[in-house]
Structure 1
Amino acid sequence: MTTEAARNSHPIYFIGAFATGGLLTFMVHFNGELAHYGNPLFSSWTAHGTGIFAAVILLLLVHRRRRPTVGKAPNAPWWAYFGGISGAATVILTSTAVNSPLGLSGTLALGLAGQVAFSVAADSWGLFGLPKRRPDMRDIVALGLVVTGGALIILFGRGGA
């Protein structure tokens, strides 16, 4: 996305992305609590089980009897089916990390740093069918700021080492 396109994006996209970050914080906290009283695998099974239940309820509520007249949707690439595996691993790892001295903020700070680093690499190498995009100085500076912010939270935040 170009800088101009980002500036002209509808505000709902930014609000939605910000709200997703808040929901992610709740999810990591709740899963960490489940892992504290059980174990990380139990936390992952519970999270995904309730997710399936919520998805089925949502599908039943929004299901329409009329089918769209559009042609058959294209098949998803084979690697798209591994999203569940990475989701389960994410729940297990964050449930473990949030119950460590990192706490919630340290876990999320390192998670954000990992997301940004992997996203820059995925853009750079054109992974998962993305168009190849060479990281520019802004990408590198943004990554450095996220990593620095994460380090500040972990090393000097309340309860830091």
Structure 2
Amino acid sequence: MPVGNLLVGLGFICGTLIAAQGAINGRLAGGIGGPIHAALISFSVGWLALLALNIILGHRIPSYGQAMSVPWWAWVGGLIGAVMVTSSATAVPRIGVAAWVSAVIAGQLTAAVMYDQFGAFGQAVRPATPLRLLGIGFLVLGVYMVRRF
């Protein structure tokens, strides 16, 4: 089986986990005092898991020079993750998993088409074709339908 197919399957599995994450973090937030507390615990558990994995795999900590060699925007991934976890812990208990995930997916794909169009973050340029834009329109309509009906 080609690696690309395995990665698509991995993406699908990660999508199922992301859908569960909002409900899990929402429950955690309700039990411990709010979404920021839940995000802190969530990231702490994740940090510990990644630390253990790095130790098990024998990876070393990058040098200061390596860390400083990446562009400034390469450092905001953790901040984006914190916003996502906190937002999902806030939103999912109020609007439900389907409405939250559909809005996230619509936002992700809208941004992805724009990032492709302009080659953002060093990616190859891939034009925002009329059919891609139509697909985004359908996604936005889907968010409305999931939320409304």
**Category of TM-score, reference length = shorter chain:** 0.7 to 0.9
Task: For 2:86 and 2:80, locate their aligned partners in 1 and report how far apart those are by CA, in whole Å.
Answer: 10
Residue by residue over 1:124-152, the C-alpha shift from the partner in whole angstroms, topping out at 9 and shown as x without a partner, is 22221223332012211221222222222
Structure 1: distance between partners of 2:121 and 2:4: 26
Quick check: 18-27 or 132-141, which moved more?
132-141
**Superposition pairs of residues 105-116 of structure 1, within 5 angstroms:** 105-116=98-109
Matched letter for residue 45 of structure 2: T
Higher-RCO chain (CA-CA 8 Å, sequence separation at least 6)? 2
Find the counterpart in structure 2 of residue 28 from structure 1.
22
Question: 2:127 corresponds to which letter in structure 1?
Answer: R
> What is the letter of the counterpart of residue 48 of structure 1?
F
Aligned to 2:139: 146
Question: Using the alignment, how far apart are the partners of 2:44 and 2:146 within structure 1?
Answer: 32
TM-score normalised according to structure 2 size: 0.85
Measure, in 2, the Cα distance between the counterparts of 1:92 and 1:64.
Answer: 30
Q: 1:87 is matched with which residue? A: 81
Superposed CA offset, 1:90-140 (max 9, x none): 11111111121x111111111111111111111222221223332012211
Relative to the length of structure 1, the TM-score reads: 0.79
Match of 1:28, SS state, is helix
Question: Deviation string for 1:11-38 (max 9, x for gaps)?
Answer: 2122111001011112111111112222
The secondary structure found in structure 1 opposite 2:76 is helix
Q: How many residue pairs align between the two structures?
A: 142
Match for residue 55 of structure 2?
A: 60
Rounded to whole Å, the distance in 1 between the matches of 2:127 and 2:136 is: 14
1:131 equivalent among 124, 127, 138: 124
Superposition RMSD in Å: 2.2
Change (3 A) 1:105 1:62: same
- Residues of 1 paired with 2:119 and 2:74: CA distance? 15
The Cα shift of 1:9 comes to: 6.7
Structure 2 residue identity aligned to 1:144 = G
Larger helix share, 1 or 2: 2
Letter in 2 for 1:105: A
- Residue among 17, 21, 38 paired with 2:11: 17
Structure number, greater radius of gyration: 1
Identity across the alignment (%): 28
Partners in 2 of 1:53 and 1:9 — Cα distance? 29
Equivalent residue, structure 1, for 2:113: 120
Q: Give CA deviations for 1:23-75 in whole Å, capped at 9, x if unaligned.
A: 1112111111112222010011011100100001111221169xxxxxx8993
